[in-house]
Amino acid sequence: MQKNKNRISVPGFLANGISSGIKDSDQKDLALIYSTVPARVAAVFTKNSFKAAPLLIDAERVKKGTAQAIITNSGCANAATGKEGYKDALSVSAALAGQLKIKEELILMGSTGVIGKRLPVKKIAGGMVKLVKGLNGFGIEDAETAMMTTDKYPKIAIRKGIVGARDIIICGIAKGAGMIEPNMATLLTYVMTNALIDSKALNTVFHQAIDNTFNSISVDGCMSTNDMAIILANGLAGNNPLERAQARLQRFRDMLSDVLMELCQAVVRDGEGATKFISINVEGAKSRSDARRAAYAVANSNLVKTAFFGEDPNWGRILAALGSSGIPLEKERVSLSIGDVLVFSQDSPTNLNLNKLREIFQRDRIDVRIWLGGGDKSYCVYTSDLSYDYVKINADYST
């Protein structure tokens, strides 16, 4: 995680974050990312049937492969707002196009906050002059801060490397702390890079990298209406273009995956009320989808999550959750370890050291490994515990 905001900058990208009055307090609530030249774009959207209005517009615009700006408000999701909500989003994009003097189709939009409320278009329009005027090369952290809702801290990750004979920077920012579940992990993630990359290649590597990172985390098993991830690649590095089936594309994808993995782990660590970071690694499955289903059954079990919060080495709940996952299991072949303690094997509890296990449950990070013994496929999910604070944060959110 990058702390020094002065060092966060991606060639050709300007950003800003301001308070426009959407939130009651003076908190920042309006963010803008802007590329000085049109950029190649790829995006992944939530699979929720009630997609927020801005996402419906974005999905159409992204198809053209080019975008130049992303405006995001927090404090209102503009989801479940029907045709009016759609018009509201369009009016934001029209106003911003006027300010930036670019085509409206080059503008993407994100919203996060309470569902079912109309977007405060006047406030957003009122803040737009200031938002655009303040665009600057070191505004990424301000933009990130303006996207936050229940997040405790901003999440920014950067990787630099030489790809295609030029210095490439990939910088990602993410907002999200609750409603975290795949398709997409409930949040907004924006990635900026100066790489020159072919549209199809960008789309492919972005989807692959998301699948292995943000689609593998869970805080509360809830899928939001507003989740999306967008990457803008403005090509200003002037590198040898990245195209499919190249070794240098692989290098770019690895850097991108690193950025996304750092961000998604930060999202889990910042999970609403989270006190622990927990990995659930299922191995030896017949298929990746079986492994995934098993891992999520454990990761999303409230009984497992409360046991971790309570530092109660009640490992039987992990087995109970695994057993309820619905995947075919040969239980004689299943093994379970927590940290480096094997707790269950050959259909029986091991003769374990309970004090050692108790000590592992007291750690900030806990690694759970499940071997199914039925194949060679695996899946790893990152999750958090379920605490009083999760309930507190979510019991009184909209009012």
Distance CA 178, CA 238 (A): 39
For 315, counting Cβ atoms within 10 Å of its Cβ (0-12 exposed, 13-18 middle, 19+ buried), the class is buried
Nearer to a second copy, 81 or 239 (CB): 81
Nearer to a second copy, 4 or 398 (CB): 398
User: Kindly report the CA angle at 86 between 80 and 91, in degrees rounded to 5?
Assistant: 140
Nearer to a second copy, 126 or 323 (CB): 323
Q: What share of the chain is helix, strand, coil (3-state, %, to 5)?
A: 35, 25, 35
Q: In angstroms, give the least distance from the CB of 383 to a second copy.
A: 12
Give every CB contact of residue 130 below 8 A, 6+ residues apart in sequence. 18
Give start and end residues of each alpha helix (H) in the chain: 53-62, 82-100, 121-133, 140-147, 199-211, 247-269, 288-299, 302-309, 316-323, 354-361, 388-395
Q: In angstroms, give the least distance from the CB of 55 to a second copy.
A: 12
Residue 251 CB neighbours (<10 A): 16
Q: In angstroms, give the least distance from the CB of 391 to a second copy.
A: 5
Nearer to a second copy, 171 or 267 (CB): 267
Q: In angstroms, give the least distance from the CB of 290 to a second copy.
A: 12
Nearer to a second copy, 218 or 239 (CB): 218
Q: How far is CA 352 from CA 52, 119, 280, in A?
A: 50, 56, 20
Nearer to a second copy, 106 or 334 (CB): 334
248 half-sphere exposure, CB direction, 13 A CA radius: 17
Q: In angstroms, give the least distance from the CB of 295 to a second copy.
A: 15
Q: Which residues bind a second copy (CB under 8 A)?
A: 47-51, 77, 79-85, 114-117, 178-179, 181, 220-225, 300-303, 306-307, 309-310, 312-317, 319-326, 329, 331, 343-344, 346-349, 386-388, 390-392, 394-399
Q: In angstroms, give the least distance from the CB of 315 to a second copy.
A: 6
Residue from 290, 271, 252, 214 nearest 386 by CA: 271
CB crowding 22-44: b at 16 or more within 10 Å, else e: bbeeeebbbbbbbbeebbbbbbb
Residues assigned a catalytic role: 186
